[in-house]
A and B are shown apart, each in its own frame.
Chain A
């Protein structure tokens, strides 16, 4: 596997993760009238996942994986 295709797969994984976490039904698990330190649970959840996805994109896209794997 080329380093570039490994990177593509990682990023596709991040995309799928984000898609799942931002949509029904996972979303509905946090759709509760509860609050954490006054902040509604759903709002906190959305922003937390959002930040997480950004960090994951950063890690996955940061640089090319080390070239110790053979190219083909």
Chain B
């Protein structure tokens, strides 16, 4: 039997488990073995998005409007698709600038503006406190219901219960204690709370399991599956109407507006900013979280419709749809399940309260209290006073204050509203941050004045269209305000502002507030001037991926400060050990040693400011650092210059990479040429040595045998002459090549008959051919106009080709054919042999200098490797083209063309 004692024991036992998990998480973090550093815990912690509003309120809303509850979860799914672009950018910016709240983010973007931070904080506090109250209300309501087990009694008025007998009051106190213990343990520049995140992730798991269990029980325990629930509901006309949208356009528009609202809210809610951005361990966790988190949302919403319709079918009257999740198991006398659902609802509520109060307390402390505190004369003047404890105490006080205000709100104001309405009103309030936030990271022209006026306008419209009517409904104001409008002006009716009708109050408020907000933001931004600091921050935010990943590397201080002064300042807020550690890290990274009178360089000043920003917010940090730095005002030009400088460093390093790559390839090419040259030298010297050796050995024979018979003597001297000629030829070739290469060759251009040259060339190699039994054929046209060319060079080219052909001809039955043919504007000469042929891969390279085709059997062919290269240059000088065709084993053909009209090339 569920007695009050058991329920209380379980409830407070559950909170005890949270304390244990958080404690464990913090201890592991201190040991450096984080339990939250993985995408799954990260995604679960994001599910703090699902509050008691999801757990109880979605069912209530579904029972009243069908699909109307879903945009709140579809919007975040769509944002997750853009998560890699939008969320990652916000996370990156926040890590670089050590931003710890959304107020700080917006303020920092618009020139570290204290006023903007304060405005954002005020809106957030006003918008969120009712939302926290809603969670407390849910806890109280669910407790009162389960306490009546097995009866189902709707709690009517909470005001009847004395505060000191209200369970929700004690839960609120416990939650405040939790937030204080694990949310403000120490003042750290990163402001991450591992234990807290671990507890939140655990709570997300609990609420999902509880809701799924309830859903399964209702769908399959009370009914026979999804189809059965809806079929039974379809029999009731009031429920069947909810299966489709009304055909009027208004509902589609509201649906669309609701999706937009929840999209921006996922980024703008302080608690989402806390878990998504501030508590993010590694930005790569987003990669998995962007689909895990929507999957969580899908799972927790799967049974909302069956429970809503099941409840509406089951209880015909007298049970609030907001409580169906709990009352259906109670109606079926399911003790354990009822208890599980109660704990699930509590986990949804408590996780939200914890994270939201921590996030709000950071904002209240840094952006409301600190600015005032730091202006007090005695705080400013006493330089050695330790402020870190004071800051922590302010945060602790803020947490208590937030929780207690929320409780008070729930007790005295929140009676009139259903869960969902309060939640949506809060949503619209924080949605006002969207233009300044999104504009801030994608639009450099956004200014501080624009952001302030946009926020103020949006906030004003929100107050008028949603808060004012809620006061009317709470009975605090005259109802005529809603029906007839302010001062009896119909255009000023809060629910039909400027006569806009046909929208539900939320869609109506979202439309007008975001329209005003956005218009003022853009309009004023375009007509206002930016300070140097705003300009800087705009560039650093919008182009975060093009600047260095450390804030101090794009340093924007031009001033002088003593290192000692900065150290004292840091110690006041961070305490001695942390300051020491941070400064030592900085010094050792940059290999600096500071003496007692060392001046701080701009990088150190920026580093100190960023550290402080993590603890007390960017606007306050700016003020504090400015108090010890004698700043020389930065001109606009100077800012642009510094920004350019840092960007240029990156651009420069990219340029350097590219140049290095180019140099590397040039170097490779040079190495290859060098290798080829070496080969060439060894080839040439080898070729020179062979005839030289021959000449020398013959000369030695002649010297040793002076009385040789005359014919033998003659034979031997013949050898000397032939070999010397070969030597001369070789040396001439090298010289020719040298001349061609350096452009020193002199050309004598005269009309030349190419047939003549062919005959001459053939005549010179004929003895050699006869010696090797090679048959030569000459195929010349009868009529051929002369071309303009250098006779000797063309002859040389022809000889090169012919001697090549002879060299590679088949040793038995060799054949060489010369063919000249006439084409319309040029003539073509082909020299064909029937030798071993050339490998296809060598067809191109053989014309390059020092290259020779390889022969599989014979190795390197005789010759310098320059002949074909010289030939190519000669042909190209005459405006022609040379190429080789070959089928290995069937011989090869070398052809070149010579144009009839030829303009001498500029050499």
Binding site for B on A (CB under 8 A): 7-8, 11-12, 14-15, 18-19, 22-24, 27-28, 31-33, 35, 37-40, 42-43, 46-47, 50-51, 53-58, 60-63
Contact = CB atoms under 8 A, between A and B. Distances in A.
B513 interface: no
Nearest to A32: B244
Nearest to B74: A22
Which 3 A-B residue pairings sit nearest by Cβ, starting from the closest? A38-B227, A15-B81, A58-B291
Interface in B76-114: 77-78, 80-85
Contacts of B291: 54-55, 57-58, 61
A61 B252 contact: no
Contacts of B663: none
Contacts of A57: 77, 80-81, 290-291, 294
Contact of B298 (A15, A22, A47, A58): A47
Contacts of A47: 298, 302
Contact of A38 (B80, B83, B231, B298): B231
A23 B252 contact: yes
A48 B205 CA distance: 24
A10 to B, nearest CB: 9
B217 interface: no
A27 B252 contact: yes
A8 B67 contact: no
Contact of B85 (A11, A27, A43, A54): A11
Interface string B632-651: 00000000000000000000
Contacts of B479: none
A23 B67 CA distance: 13
B67 A42 contact: yes
Interface in B474-529: none
Contact of A12 (B85, B245, B290): B85
B256 interface: yes
Contacts of B243: 33, 35, 40, 42-43
A53 B240 CA distance: 28
B771 to A, nearest CB: 58
A22 B78 contact: yes
A56 B240 CA distance: 33
Nearest to A24: B252
Nearest to B228: A38
Contacts of B228: 38
Q: Which of A14, A38, A62 has the most CB of B within 10 A?
A: A38
B287 interface: yes
B81 A18 contact: yes
Q: Which of A12, A35, A53, A54 has the most CB of B within 10 A?
A: A54
B394 interface: no
B695 interface: no
B619 interface: no
A61 B287 contact: yes
Contacts of A32: 244
A14 B80 CA distance: 10
B244 A7 contact: no
Contact of B226 (A12, A22, A23, A39): A39
A66 to B, nearest CB: 16
B230 interface: yes
Interface string B554-573: 00000000000000000000
Given A38-B227, A39-B230, A57-B291, A50 B85 contact: no
Nearest to A16: B81
A33 B794 CA distance: 93
B256 A39 contact: no
Contact of B244 (A42, A61, A63): A42
A53 B245 CA distance: 22
Contacts of B247: 31
Contacts of B74: 18, 22, 46, 50
B177 interface: no
A30 B813 CA distance: 88
A14 B81 contact: yes
Contacts of A15: 78, 81-82
Contacts, number: 111
Contacts of A40: 230, 234, 243-244
B70 interface: yes
B230 A8 contact: no
Contacts of A63: 287
Interface string B300-334: 00100100000000000000000000000000000
B294 A35 contact: no
Contacts of A28: 245, 252
A22 B85 contact: no
Contacts of B253: 24
A31 B81 contact: no
A54 B84 contact: no
A1 to B, nearest CB: 15
A6 B244 CA distance: 38
Interface in B233-254: 234, 240, 243-245, 247, 249, 252-253
Contacts of B226: 37-39
A33 B245 CA distance: 10
B252 A11 contact: no
Contacts of A37: 226-227
Contacts of A7: 84
Contact of A46 (B70, B231, B234, B249): B70
Contact of A31 (B78, B245, B290): B245
A12 B656 CA distance: 33
Contact of A35 (B78, B85, B225, B234): B234
A60 B77 CA distance: 14
Given A24-B249, A35-B230, A58-B291, 16 more contacts: A11-B83, A12-B81, A18-B77, A22-B259, A23-B255, A27-B245, A27-B252, A28-B245, A28-B252, A31-B245, A38-B229, A39-B227, A39-B230, A46-B70, A51-B298, A61-B84
10 contacts: A24-B255, A24-B256, A31-B247, A38-B226, A42-B243, A42-B244, A43-B305, A46-B74, A61-B290, A63-B287
A54 B78 contact: no
B336 interface: no
A28 B247 CA distance: 9
B298 A8 contact: no
A19 B80 CA distance: 12
Nearest to A19: B78
B245 A42 contact: yes
A54 B77 contact: yes
Contacts of A12: 81-82, 85
Contact of A54 (B83, B227, B255, B298): B298
Interface in B255-306: 255-256, 259, 287-288, 290-291, 294-295, 298, 302, 305
A33 B243 CA distance: 7
Nearest to A30: B244
Nearest to A44: B226
A52 B35 CA distance: 31
A58 B77 CA distance: 12
A68 B251 CA distance: 48
Contacts of B244: 31-33, 40, 42
A28 B74 CA distance: 17
Contacts of A24: 249, 252-253, 255-256
A37 to B, nearest CB: 5
A19 B288 CA distance: 21
A38 B82 contact: no
A72 B466 CA distance: 51
A62 to B, nearest CB: 8
B81 A53 contact: yes
A61 B81 CA distance: 9
A11 B302 contact: no
B285 to A, nearest CB: 12
Contacts of A22: 74, 78, 259
A64 B74 CA distance: 26
Interface in B186-240: 225-231, 234, 240
B259 A43 contact: no
B290 A18 contact: no
A54 B299 CA distance: 12
